[in-house]
Amino acid sequence: MGHGHSPTGAEGGDGHAHGPRIGSAGERHQKPLAIAFSITAAYALVEVIAGITTGSLALVSDAAHMGTDVLGLGLALAAIHLAKRPAAGQRTYGTYRLEVLAAVINGLLLFGVAFYVLYEAVERFRNPPAVPGVPMLIVAVIGLIINLISFRLLTAGAKESLNVKGAYLEVLSDMLGSVGVIIAATVIWTTGFQYADPIVGAAIGLFILPRTYKLMRQAVRIIMEVAPPDVDVAAAERDLAAIPGVEQVHDLHIWTITSGMEAASAHVVIKEGADWHAVLDRSREILAETYGVTHPTIQVEPASHREQPPGF
């Protein structure tokens, strides 16, 4: 078999990517996330004070919604910060999975907010409270501006990081909440129709639920180490098996460590006399270029090799 495959292989035919630490997708968007957290936290406090001062239940409820955003954004930031810690001891992959756990927590918070909004909508249909239109409108417009800024800051990161996407969806839901409050406040102010508030609230809750379900489904897939949805594992196995000199491929696994960081492991059986260096390099090229795998581990085995059961 030979020894030493530098720089891309490891001794004994185990091709494993070594080199500088690769930052997660969420880490690249830490700064905009921090800005969004700061302005959202500041305005949530303002909205609480305004809601208590005016006696507006709608504003207090929206402040609670923004408070959930602050918590979600804080969790996302904390997860990215902790994920920067290097792998050590038993944490062989570092703490990247904390970003996925933060996305799960954000999803649970979003479900909670959605069901709370729907519950409040039903209660207000039964007994709509008197809501002051003008103060409610002014505070909601400012809140919308804050949410638009945060939304713009997080848009790019949401496309790359599941963790940032969770925070992004929270800001999106709150932004729609602000729009709904503006619409309801305008209707109440101009017509006195108090049912505008619960109607808009129910619409917001129904909008949040399916998007939160999609986020949670993505996070659970990663935790369960299911192959990424856009990766055809069977096709990857066929491509590896088609490499010149390869006799068989088995035990191929492809999974996501965190958003934007795909991993794979496989046993590649080569024919007698085949160049295992070339097979190893080509295997890694296929996984990286075709399937987006940035962390591959390939075990190259001669056809004469027979695996022993554990313990031998």
- pTM for the whole structure: 0.65
Output the domain CATH number for residue 104.
Answer: 1.20.1510.10
Number of separate domains in the chain: 2
pLDDT of residue 12: 40
Task: Indicate if 246 and 185 belong to the same structural domain.
Answer: no
Average pLDDT on 250-268 reads: 88
Task: Indicate if 217 and 237 belong to the same structural domain.
Answer: no
Residue 128 lies in a domain: yes
Among 35-39, 128-132, 292-296, whose mean pLDDT is lowest? 128-132
Q: Do the beta carbons of residue 113 and residue 206 sit within 8 Å? A: no
Containing domain of residue 232, as a range?
228-302
pLDDT of residue 266: 95
Task: Indicate if 209 and 241 belong to the same structural domain.
Answer: no
Give strand pairing partners of 88: 91
Task: Indicate if 186 and 270 belong to the same structural domain.
Answer: no
Average pLDDT on 217-246 reads: 91
pLDDT at 92 over 80: no
Q: What is the mean pLDDT of the chain?
A: 77
Task: Indicate if 208 and 113 belong to the same structural domain.
Answer: yes
Residue 114 lies in a domain: yes
pLDDT of residue 91: 65
How many whole angstroms separate alpha carbon 84 and alpha carbon 96?
A: 8
Residue 10 lies in a domain: no
Residue 12 lies in a domain: no
Percent of the chain with pLDDT over 90: 18
pLDDT of residue 298: 93
* Residue pLDDT, tens place only, 165-178: 777 777 887 787 77
Task: Indicate if 56 and 197 belong to the same structural domain.
Answer: yes
Higher-confidence residue: 243 or 49?
243
Residue 244 lies in a domain: yes
For strands 14-16 and 246-258, give the pairing.
Answer: unpaired
pLDDT at 162 over 70: no
pLDDT at 299 over 90: yes
Average pLDDT on 240-255 reads: 94
pLDDT at 201 over 80: no
> Which residue among 170, 204, 223 closes a domain?
223
* Residue pLDDT, tens place only, 94-146: 666 777 777 788 788 778 877 877 887 788 788 776 666 777 788 888 888 88
* Residue pLDDT, tens place only, 49-79: 877 776 666 666 667 667 767 777 777 777 6
- Integer-rounded Cα radius of gyration of the chain: 26
Task: Indicate if 103 and 156 belong to the same structural domain.
Answer: yes
Give the Å distances, CA to CA, from 241 to 2, 294, 312: 21, 20, 28
Residue 143 contacts by C-beta under 8 Å, 6 or more apart in sequence? 43, 47, 62, 66, 174, 178, 181
What is the side-by-side strand order in the sheet with 14-16? Answer: 14-16, 293-302, 261-270, 246-258
Start-to-end CA distance of the chain, whole Å, equals: 21
> Which residue among 223, 239, 266 closes a domain?
223
Task: Indicate if 119 and 208 belong to the same structural domain.
Answer: yes
Task: Indicate if 120 and 183 belong to the same structural domain.
Answer: yes
pLDDT at 310 over 80: no
